[in-house]
């Protein structure tokens, strides 16, 4: 499995704001569906969850959430996908707990930032708290 989440190409007409908005919405929807797909692959299947993580799926989900950090549906499904990848899976929890060397911030801090950036979404808060509870109740050994 090789994981690719990429944006839909933008319009060739830079002066057309409607096309730019449409393109951005299509890109966000693609990322949302990508997160949903990766989470669905891992749901209740530890072997598939490991494959998704090994194919950089966890990082792809975090990247999608970082790019569309104020887009509620992307964040909601990114957090759900992270939860399904890590729920009762020590190896994936360990990967999630690692600090990103590129951004020098922890993935747990990124999850907290997602929750802070979209404070009025019950689903974002619910999925974020579920991840934090599951990961922090049993911190994996390094």
Whole-prediction pTM value? 0.83
Model pLDDT, residue 21: 84
pLDDT digits 0-9 by tens, 23-77? 999 999 999 999 999 999 999 899 999 999 999 999 999 999 999 999 999 999 9
Triad 59, 64, 11: Cα angle to 5°? 140
Q: Which two tokens stand for residue 53?
A: 């993580």
Query: Hey, which residues does 106 pair with through a beta bridge?
Result: 99
8 A C-beta contact, residue 60 and residue 4 = yes
Q: What is the pLDDT of residue 98?
A: 81
What sections of the chain are H helices per DSSP? Answer: 17-42, 46-54, 57-67, 72-86, 90-97, 107-117, 122-137
Alpha carbon distance 31, 39 (integer Å): 12
* Band of residue 142 on the pLDDT scale cut at 50, 70, 90: low
What average pLDDT does the segment 1-6 reach?
51
């Amino acid at each position: 499995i090789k994981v690719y989440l990429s944006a839909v190409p933008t319009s060739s007409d830079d002066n057309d704001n409607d096309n730019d908005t449409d393109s951005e919405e299509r890109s966000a929807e693609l990322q949302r569906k990508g997160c949903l797909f990766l989470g669905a692959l891992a749901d209740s299947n530890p072997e598939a969850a490991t494959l998704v993580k090994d194919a950089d799926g966890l990082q792809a989900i975090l990247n999608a959430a970082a790019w569309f950090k104020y887009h509620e549906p992307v964040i909601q499904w990114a957090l759900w996908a992270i939860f399904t990848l890590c729920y009762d899976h020590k190896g994936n929890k360990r990967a999630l707990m690692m600090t990103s060397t590129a951004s020098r911030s922890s993935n747990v801090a990124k999850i907290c930032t997602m929750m802070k950036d979209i404070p009025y979404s019950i689903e974002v808060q619910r999925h974020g708290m579920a991840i934090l509870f599951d990961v922090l109740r049993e911190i994996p050994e390094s």
